[in-house]
A and B are shown apart, each in its own frame.
Chain A
């Protein structure tokens, strides 16, 4: 199957996108911050340059003024201002030659008292012209002045001082410096930036001629209007420019200072490249970590899918091989859909199998029921006839044969009972009773029942009962009796000239907190014992210690298996200890309830074999042999019988005559026993109720209850013998029982 990783891919892509966005955002933000920082640093630099330029200009202005004052204090110059032209020229040339050679000033002008220029050096003004420079007129009034003049190729800063001779102002002296392109070039070298000096109307000087082309008129206007430095950056050339408004003495100008920031921006670019590399490294690491994380997160989903596929495979036996579309979730949903479909199919198959099994079970039950019925019916005839035959005068040989017939019949009966019990156990159909019983009486009875058989084999059977045993407990006495009887019977069977002990004790070591009393039941013998190999097979059906056992001692091998199951059903466990040739010990612990009432249950006294019952009994029986058997038995018990062969006749007979007891077979033609009992009960409603006892080969667990539900009062399973029939007659016909028979009076059940 091809796996699709739609969600994994989507999550990974989303993760990559988020990381890309965050990294990109971080890069852009940091890059912008860096750019801003660099820009601010460059702006600070040009701002500093602006301050330096202003200070330098101020210094130049001051120097010019000081020089003017110094020269004006020279009396020679004052004299020259009043002398004739020829002598003045010579005088001033000699005086000022040294001054110009030191290049401390760029120009010098002297006027007389009428503001007429009488001397000039470094100036374009003509001698004899009237000076138009601001401050000359004022200087003639005694005031020092300084003024800026915009020239064709620069700005001139002029300091004007009055010339005095004997306290009288004879003229003015003006010194000046040119702030032209040469001056700016010199200044530019000092501060490391190209400069342009711009007046309101035009650029007046520049340190680099090429800069004039790059002037930004808008920035110049802004600087003039706003009176603040205006910054411009040229992204292409990485040049930073500041348009700095300055006041040179008394005139406003803008100085453009340009610095090369390319080195700084190269550093910025390098930093950006490093940031990109770092971001890429982080991105790759994050993507790898993200893919791992997503894989881990999706692992449970993949496991779920694989489990689901395995389940599908297990359920269907076919591995899902088709290619799925969609992502992990939809593919898992697809597999789960398959699983659901497989489960539904399996459930349907299981339901069909269950129905088939139930049908088979029903068939098996029906088979067992039919088999039981069909075996018990002739067996009733065999055993009944044999018992009747034994009651007739017989030769010893004939008596031996009849005993053999009886023994074989009983064996067959036991085998049938064991098979039915085992079938019920395997079908988990065994239902336990929880009724009060006397454990002492039960164990005593069992001891009594087997004591004579043991004695016949030269074995002494002893019963040991714990004196602290309560007189009444709650449990299933029938099953307990069955187990103990079986174990005791086995002990008798496998012990010759030995000893058998049947015991029951209160087991104080078991937990009593649940309100239960634990009893330990033991059956010990000194018989043939069992070897270790045989012990392992002992509790398997149809298994005895060895094959010779069957030959020597008979039996089906079902007894111990049934006992073990019954003990376990009652909450205990059957244990075995045995030594070959020395004997066997079997024991089990069982919990019993303690009834609230301590009244002892009624104990039926056994009926004397000589007791007779002069009563009228209606018998419904369709089997000819069994008719004869029941007729003979009732006759032997002193009863008068009317025998009919189906239920319909029984109903009619009950209507026509009065009977003390009705023995009703269940499976009969025309009208079965259940319907007949119901009809009789209907006829007798409000009148005398004649007891009806089922006499039937239906000997399964539910059969008794079915009979009672049909209106019958009791139940007697075939094969029946004289003792059981006697007890039933005693139970249900006591008032009519003949007196003086020495039998105790039975108490009918309510």
Chain B
């Protein structure tokens, strides 16, 4: 009888170890490193989210490579080079028709900023147009200290510029003055912000956290781009960014990361960088 009992206990232990081993083996197999390429708008805040997500669990690793733009994310998704990408705007119909799904992270104000040498506090719609038209070239004209305005612009298809043009209609199609430098990517804008203390440009606010120098955020028509003003709608220029993926190729790591972004912890991080999180799903 005792021998029978000992056998049953031994068999039970063996079975438990066997099951545990199988579970660990399956878990090990399913562990995944994913890279989320794409837009520079959400690059900084997504990197913070990835950092927190990676710290919250040790099965999957999420990395956020340098910006290739929203176009780069869509290209990589269509080419199946990535299972999930970051986009600076909601997807268009033509893009969802190709099997892509959009995951909104939140809304971020597009702000007008100056380099560390800028002392001006606010700018109006008209002044903005004049700066990029080359009519206003010195910060004194905007109420700041003397210094040339190093205006930095973006192409017409840029998400930030399009966000501005939804409020200031003529901004989207205006012809920049030849003294305005037009960069291709958000990090290049940030680099010029750092390089030229009297620079002037625009970008969503969370992306500006990547700047090395202390930038000056200008109020638009006297309205500062605070979270409250954004949420209340008083600050009108915002962009929505998020993630895009193909449902058929989405992996467990991608699903878990998006779940984390939608979690209270994710929302807290977004708010920390001025992003108004998307409504709970």
The interface of chain A, by Cβ under 8 A from chain B, is 132, 134-135, 137-138, 141, 145, 148, 150, 200, 224-228, 245, 247, 250-252
Contact = CB atoms under 8 A, between A and B. Distances in A.
A250 B181 contact: yes
Contacts of A137: 147-148, 198
B140 to A, nearest CB: 13
Interface in B54-110: 68-69, 71-72, 75
B197 A145 contact: no
Nearest to B152: A250
Given A225-B71, A227-B72, A250-B188, 20 more contacts: A132-B179, A135-B196, A137-B148, A138-B195, A138-B196, A138-B198, A145-B195, A225-B155, A225-B157, A226-B72, A227-B69, A245-B184, A247-B183, A247-B188, A250-B181, A250-B183, A250-B192, A251-B182, A252-B155, A252-B184
Contacts of B150: 134
A251 B191 CA distance: 12
Contacts of A134: 150, 181, 196
A346 B72 CA distance: 90
A137 B115 CA distance: 14
A226 B71 CA distance: 5
Going nearest first, the 10 A-B pairs with the smallest beta carbon separation are A252-B184, A226-B71, A225-B157, A227-B69, A227-B184, A137-B148, A250-B181, A251-B181, A200-B182, A224-B155
B185 interface: yes
A247 B197 contact: no
30 contacts: A132-B179, A137-B147, A137-B148, A137-B198, A138-B195, A138-B196, A138-B198, A141-B197, A200-B182, A224-B155, A224-B184, A225-B155, A226-B69, A226-B71, A226-B75, A227-B68, A227-B69, A227-B71, A228-B72, A228-B75, A247-B184, A247-B188, A250-B181, A250-B191, A250-B195, A251-B181, A252-B155, A252-B183, A252-B184, A252-B188
A145 B191 CA distance: 13
A227 B187 CA distance: 13
A79 B192 CA distance: 31
Interface in B136-187: 147-148, 150, 155, 157, 178-179, 181-185
Contacts of B182: 200, 251-252
A135 B197 CA distance: 10
Contacts of B148: 132, 137
A250 B148 CA distance: 17
Nearest to B68: A227
Nearest to A245: B184
Nearest to A200: B182
Nearest to A150: B178
- In terms of DSSP, what is the predominant structure of the interface of chain A? mixed
B37 to A, nearest CB: 12
Contacts of B184: 224, 227, 245, 247, 252
Contacts of A225: 71, 155, 157
Contacts of B197: 138, 141
Contacts of A252: 155, 182-184, 188
Contacts of A247: 183-184, 188
Q: Which of B147, B179, B181, B188 has the most CB of A within 10 A?
A: B181
A200 B155 contact: yes
Interface of B: 68-69, 71-72, 75, 147-148, 150, 155, 157, 178-179, 181-185, 188, 191-192, 195-198
A133 to B, nearest CB: 10
Nearest to A146: B195
Contacts of B179: 132
Contacts of B178: 150
Contact of A227 (B185, B191, B192): B185
Contacts of B147: 137
A182 B184 CA distance: 26
A174 to B, nearest CB: 15
A227 B74 CA distance: 12
Nearest to B188: A247
A747 to B, nearest CB: 99
Nearest to B198: A137
Nearest to A136: B148
A148 B184 CA distance: 14
Contacts of A200: 155, 182
A135 B181 CA distance: 13
A150 B176 CA distance: 13
A302 B178 CA distance: 90
Contacts of A150: 178
Contacts of A227: 68-69, 71-72, 184-185
Nearest to B191: A250
A172 to B, nearest CB: 13
A267 to B, nearest CB: 29
A141 B198 CA distance: 12
A100 to B, nearest CB: 27
A137 B69 CA distance: 32
Contacts of B185: 227
Contacts of B75: 226, 228
A38 B219 CA distance: 55
A134 B149 CA distance: 10
A150 B157 CA distance: 22
B42 to A, nearest CB: 16
Contacts of A145: 195
Nearest to A246: B184
B183 A228 contact: no
A132 B180 CA distance: 12
Contacts of A132: 148, 179
A218 to B, nearest CB: 13
Contacts of B195: 138, 145, 250
A436 B68 CA distance: 119
Nearest to A249: B181
A147 to B, nearest CB: 8
B38 to A, nearest CB: 11
A134 B183 CA distance: 15
A228 B71 contact: yes
Nearest to A151: B178
A145 B198 CA distance: 13
A27 B96 CA distance: 37
Nearest to A226: B71
A138 B195 CA distance: 9
Contacts of A226: 69, 71-72, 75
A231 to B, nearest CB: 14
Q: Which of A132, A245, A251 has the most CB of B within 10 A?
A: A251
B92 to A, nearest CB: 14
Nearest to A134: B150
Nearest to A135: B196
A32 B179 CA distance: 48
Contacts of A224: 155, 184
A135 B179 CA distance: 12
Nearest to B137: A132
Nearest to B158: A225
Contacts of B72: 226-228
A229 to B, nearest CB: 12
A162 to B, nearest CB: 14
A234 to B, nearest CB: 24
A44 to B, nearest CB: 17
Nearest to B156: A225
B163 to A, nearest CB: 16
B186 to A, nearest CB: 11
A132 B177 CA distance: 13
Contacts of A250: 181, 183, 188, 191-192, 195
A255 to B, nearest CB: 13
Nearest to A115: B148
B178 to A, nearest CB: 7
A207 B155 CA distance: 26
A138 B181 CA distance: 16
A135 B115 CA distance: 14
A251 B181 CA distance: 6
A251 B179 CA distance: 11
Nearest to B155: A224
Nearest to B153: A200
